[in-house]
Chains A and B, each alone.
Chain A
């Protein structure tokens, strides 16, 4: 194909605009993505999580999460016998660098619980936002318009799961976006991609061919704090009664 210098100069800004859209990751920038075709959630299989912290590191790198704050983290539970109400839980630096090894012969039931925004369909955080800066996208992802957020932290208080924080530099609410810039391009989330055991699976609840449907039919799954009635869409397999 022969392109003259004049044509090249005309095409250059057009290519720059196109590339900007690819980078931006908004639905408009992903022309083949139809928001109404999807309803996103997450499947977390506690029986598969090994507490390696790959997901936390991947999330922090992908989303430029500030130190000391977490869009996702991993907890290690130690439940002694029948004491469901008083487990010993640790999450050193969000489990980013893994966990200290358990003393050999130690009693108790040890297991890891990855946590993240539950992308609730009746989310208390979006309910309380005074300007609607946080909202549920038509494809079921709870997002924050950071150019609009006042930084009042009411949403942080309203989230029962502790998934939100105020970004220390941007001074606005920040949280898991379910890697919206990735999933709208047909990719999975950074945490799912980094998980070596497949303990996290991005799920499209509107897609009848998504393996989540078969999984939900054959397993007993639970959401965190079901009494909160938030319509949480992070489904946990093997969730112990001691998990909060």
Chain B
């Protein structure tokens, strides 16, 4: 049989979780990571990262709006997906998706963004003309009070929402890891470390995404990049990525040392079918290079221009590394037989519903969402808004 080496159970030859299922944990990870970065400023009072606060929230929302699309496209019967909300199966980790997603979208992210932007929204609903005025009027939800006392309440509630948001972000992404980690049928996935690894890699990738977006948007706006901010973001990215890498290595070392019945099969896979995506892309290029470069920025005095370049390179590599990690988990977990006697091949289609083009589209789509959000809710208040606020 083409693409099969050794013996696969006959029903295993086809892979059912495609590149879209690779994207799903990747995108939710970016959401969780971006939100954690936002919470640094809000809850932990890390002032240095303030310029990225609103951008991180909007990035999280843009990616969160995209997150269910790969799942929806993957389902054999997407028209039945509402059943997960109405008749969830209590023992299924996947059944919780709808609830965790809705909770995170509505109770955390949208609410926090609304609270944070409420003053701006009210001011824009007064200043804008035509259709946009109606849009902003609707977005005020009838709450036009922007007195100091009212804004103070917003601030307090926002802080509480962010506080709730941190465990929610962990829940959103930890649960994605649990979907894989809780399957005893698959030794490549079955690990209590899986949710933890997912969370840390999510944080690293989300922070990297916000860093890149911040630098790109600032450049496009012809503004000066706040070096204090990107230095702080890079520092957090570095430490979190070290933790992520350590956990992944712990998992690897544990597997190698324990060498259970699946080991020979998994070891073969890492040396062959996953060699490029795991050893080369994820570990060597995507992890070790950024770790070394980021380490240098922490211990050596490097010029501003060079630091910026390092941050761009490192953020990009971390994003690639985490995408490769998701690929290795999702696709890697289906390449070997549960008999441990054979291997199959994943043949990614180009233009099918679960093909490469759709995957690329779904990766770019959040950037379009973000562009709309940035137009609607500019993270950097315009001068006239500031002036109006000053006159309040």
A residues lining the B interface (CB < 8 Å): 68-70, 73, 75, 85-91, 93-94, 115, 124, 126-132, 148-154, 156-166, 170-172, 228, 244
In the bound complex, residues from chain A placing their C-beta under 8 Å from that of B12 are 162
Contacts of B88 in A (CB 8 A): 130-131
B183 nearest in chain A by CB position: A158
B12, B80, B81: most-surrounded residue (chain A CB, <10 A): B80
Q: Assuming A162-B11, A162-B337, A166-B16, is B77 touching A128 (CB within 8 A)?
A: no
Alpha-carbon separation in the docked complex, A191 to B13 (Å): 23
B391 within 8 Å of A by Cβ?
Answer: no
In the bound complex, CA of A167 to CA of B77 (Å): 12
B76 near A131 with CB under 8 A, answer no
Listed by A's residue number, 12 A-B pairs whose Cβ atoms lie within 8 Å are: A68-B13, A124-B183, A128-B94, A131-B84, A149-B77, A150-B80, A151-B76, A157-B16, A157-B17, A157-B333, A158-B183, A171-B77
A148-B83, A157-B17, A162-B11 given. 11 additional CB < 8 A pairs? A85-B261, A124-B184, A131-B88, A131-B92, A150-B80, A153-B16, A156-B11, A160-B185, A161-B9, A165-B14, A244-B338
User: Which one, B92, B261, B333, B339, contacts A154 given CB within 8 A?
Assistant: B92
The 7 tightest CB contacts between A and B, nearest first, are A151-B76, A162-B9, A171-B76, A153-B16, A160-B185, A132-B89, A244-B339
Residue of B11, B76, B93 most packed against chain A (CB within 10 A): B11
**CA gap between A66 and B214 in the complex, in Å:** 52
Also in contact, A130 and B94, with CB within 8 A (given A148-B83, A153-B17, A244-B339): yes
Question: Would A91 and B7 count as touching, CB distance under 8 A?
Answer: yes
Assembled-state Cα–Cα distance A165/B76 (Å): 12
Instruction: For chain B, residues 260 to 277, give those with C-beta under 8 angstroms from any C-beta of chain A.
Output: 261, 264
B364 within 8 A of A: no
- Asked if B87 is at the interface (CB within 8 A of a chain A CB), the reply is yes
A154 to B12, CA, bound (A): 13
A89-B339, A148-B80, A150-B81 known; A128 vs B16 contact (CB < 8 Å): no
The answer to whether B11 touches A130 (Cβ under 8 A) is no
Contacts of A91 in B (CB 8 A): 7, 9-10
Which residues on the B side are within 8 Å of A163 (C-beta)? Answer: 9, 11
Do the beta carbons of B76 and A164 come within 8 Å of each other? no
Name B29-84 residues within 8 Å CB distance of A: 71, 74-78, 80-81, 83-84
Residues of B within 8 A of A132 (CB): 87, 89, 92
State the CA gap A157–B83 with chains docked (Å).
20
Q: How far apart are the CA atoms of A70 and B183 in the complex, in Å?
A: 22
Shortest distance between the CB of A11 and any CB in chain B (Å): 39
Bound together, the chains give a CA A152 to CA B75 distance in angstroms of 5
CB atoms of B10 and A127 under 8 A apart: no
Task: Quote the shortest CB–CB distance from B321 to chain A (angstroms).
Answer: 24
Measured CB to CB, the closest approach of chain A to B10, in angstroms, equals 5
Q: How far is the CB of B73 from chain A (nearest CB, A)?
A: 12
CA distance A93 to B264 in the complex (A): 26
- Bound-state CA distance A164–B339 (Å) is 15
Q: A149-B77, A150-B77, A162-B337 are in contact. Are A90 and B7 (CB under 8 A)?
A: yes
Residue A156 contacts which of B16, B91, B261 (CB distance < 8 angstroms)? B16
From residue A73, how far is it (CB to closest CB) to chain B in Å?
5
Decide if A129 touches B17 in the complex (CB within 8 Å).
no
Whole-angstrom CA separation of A228 from B262 in the bound complex = 13
